[in-house]
Amino acid sequence: MAFLSTHGHYTNSYVDELILAAVEDLRADGCTSFVIYGQCWGTNIALQAAADERMPFLAAGGPHPSLLTVEMAEKVRCPIILLPSKDEEDLVPIVEVVVDKGFAVPSFHYRFDDQVHGWTGGRGDFSDPHQRKAIEQATEFLASFTDKVVSAASA
């Protein structure tokens, strides 16, 4: 935890500034709609960015999220998608906090009860057909959720 507090802190490590710079670069290239997804600690960062008033995100979340809290969810300014593995705690209370905010697109939660933490990343085994199917399903959930929030924002 000390490593993340030092090197992965949203503001103290300038992660927020890096995200803002990426958004501005993408805007310069013509992008007008933004979502932010991460894996593991990256999902934690994504939710912090979704609470940051300087950020334009329409959605945030990701697979096998780490160290999320209800307090974080209370600050989020967009719908979220959380795709925990069997190794994560119950995230339904976090999703419910955001659902209660009444965004046009409801937040989404799906637990992959047969997958380990990290299955879509470094701990994933793409050669295992069952795991590959779960990775593809998570990817489809993220793509579909992105389509819904971007479409709703464009309406």
- 91 Ramachandran zone, left/alpha/beta (phi>0; psi -120 to 50): alpha
Residue in this structure with the two tokens 């905010």, named with its chain if needed:
101
- CA-based Rg of the chain, rounded to a whole angstrom? 15
The pLDDT tens digits of the residues spanning 87-137 come to 999 999 999 999 999 999 999 999 999 999 999 988 888 899 999 999 999
Contacts of 97 by beta carbon, 8 Å cutoff, 6+ apart:
70, 73, 74, 76
For residue 68, the model assigns a pLDDT of 95
Domain 32-154: homologous superfamily in CATH:
Alpha/Beta hydrolase fold, catalytic domain (3.40.50.1820)
Q: Of 85, 72, 12, 84, which Cα lies nearest the Cα of 46?
A: 72
Backbone φ, ψ for residue 80 (5° rounding) = -125, 155
Q: Of 104, 41, 97, 103, which Cα lies nearest the Cα of 73?
A: 97
Domains in the chain: boundaries? 32-154
How large a percentage of the chain has pLDDT more than 90? 84
Q: What tokens were used for 3?
A: 């490593």
The pLDDT tens digits of the residues spanning 65-99 come to 999 999 999 999 999 999 999 999 999 999 999 99
Residue in this structure with the two tokens 């940051």, named with its chain if needed:
52
Strands annotated E in the chain: 36-37, 60-63, 80-83, 108-109
